[in-house]
């Protein structure tokens, strides 16, 4: 698996905030940065990466194609523009951001265009985001021998996506968890607080360690340097089987889904 286990998410971070956060993250040791065309922060991230002095080969850079750029010609042109903003010749990973099942551009067209972008050297690897099981099956049929490096989906203690996770594991499709901290909700959870006390950790570290132990990559974010550093230390935390079982009881299913745009979402599993 080439997708790093731990990275920095940049959703909702813009302008000087994203510049500061990415700069802090690089200084702290983060080497995987996740962005998207729809985040409107690629240019700022590119500025920081270029000025950081961190060698390009040490950075794993992910971006995502927004639905407005799904038409084949637009997709390739938009990824070229993303690379220019990020100041790289090629990103490491490019994802289809949302499946948009009822959109004007069908998966057959945008996935083939994404594979063409990979073949032309604009991205080293490709994948998807927010795809359900049916969407993953269809994507594999369309892409053939071209690997889907990850499916980036919302996974946190309250939305554990077990059916999708089981399918992905069986099929060898890696999952990346976003919103793993449930937009801060985990910090107030009594179960996670109790587990954290037993490990001299924070609830955020517990939630991240839980996702890592399930085999997912994680891309947490924070505007505070101390939280960025604390999140990174979740990789050093090992939860017990009892801890994992307690967290399993927190699952509330799709009722607590945080990212759910009506026009772009699939029929969730």
Residues labelled as active-site residues: 39
**Residue 159's beta-bridge partner residues?**
156
Q: Return the H-helix or E-strand segment holding 16.
A: helix 15-28
156 is in an annotated binding site: no
- Contacts for 105 with CB less than 8 Å, ≥ 6 apart: 67, 70, 71, 72
Distance CA 135, CA 148 (A): 12
HSE on the CB side for 62, CA within 13 Å? 29
- Using an 8 Å Cβ cutoff, are 177 and 218 in contact? yes
What is the 3-state secondary structure of 67-111? HHHCCHHHHHHHHHHHHHHHCCCCEEEEEECCCCCCCCCCHHHHH
How far from the centroid of its chain's Cα atoms is residue 109's Cα? 23
Q: Identify the three-state secondary structure at position 153.
A: strand
End-to-end CA distance of the chain: 25
Give the position of tokens 């053939």: 144
Distance of alpha carbon 244 from its chain centroid, rounded? 22
Binding-site residue set for substrate: 97
Binding-site residue set: 97
């Amino acid at each position: 698996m080439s997708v790093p286990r731990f990275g920095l998410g940049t959703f909702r971070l813009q302008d000087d905030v994203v510049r500061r956060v990415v700069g802090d993250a690089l200084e702290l040791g983060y080497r995987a940065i996740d962005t998207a065309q729809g985040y409107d922060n690629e240019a700022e991230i590119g500025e920081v990466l270029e000025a950081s002095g961190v060698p390009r080969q040490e950075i794993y850079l992910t971006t995502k194609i927004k639905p407005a750029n799904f038409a084949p010609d637009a997709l390739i042109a938009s990824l070229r523009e993303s690379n220019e903003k990020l100041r790289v010749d090629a990103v490491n990973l490019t994802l289809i951001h949302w499946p948009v099942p009822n959109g004007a551009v069908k998966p057959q067209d945008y996935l083939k265009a994404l594979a063409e972008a990979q073949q032309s050297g604009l991205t080293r690897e490709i994948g998807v985001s927010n795809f359900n099981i049916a969407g993953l099956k269809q994507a594999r049929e369309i892409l053939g021998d071209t690997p889907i490096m990850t499916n980036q989906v919302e996974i946190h203690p309250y939305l554990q996506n077990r059916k999708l996770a089981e399918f992905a594991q069986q099929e060898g499709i890696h999952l990346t968890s976003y919103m793993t901290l449930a937009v801060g909700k985990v910090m107030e959870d009594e179960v996670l607080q109790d587990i954290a006390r037993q490990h001299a950790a924070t609830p955020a570290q517990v939630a991240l360690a839980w996702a890592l132990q399930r085999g997912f990559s994680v891309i947490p974010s924070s505007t505070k340097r101390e939280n960025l550093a604390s999140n990174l230390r979740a990789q050093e935390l090992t939860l017990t089987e009892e801890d994992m079982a307690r967290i399993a009881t927190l699952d509330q299913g799709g009722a607590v889904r945080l990212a759910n745009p009506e026009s772009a979402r699939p029929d969730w599993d």
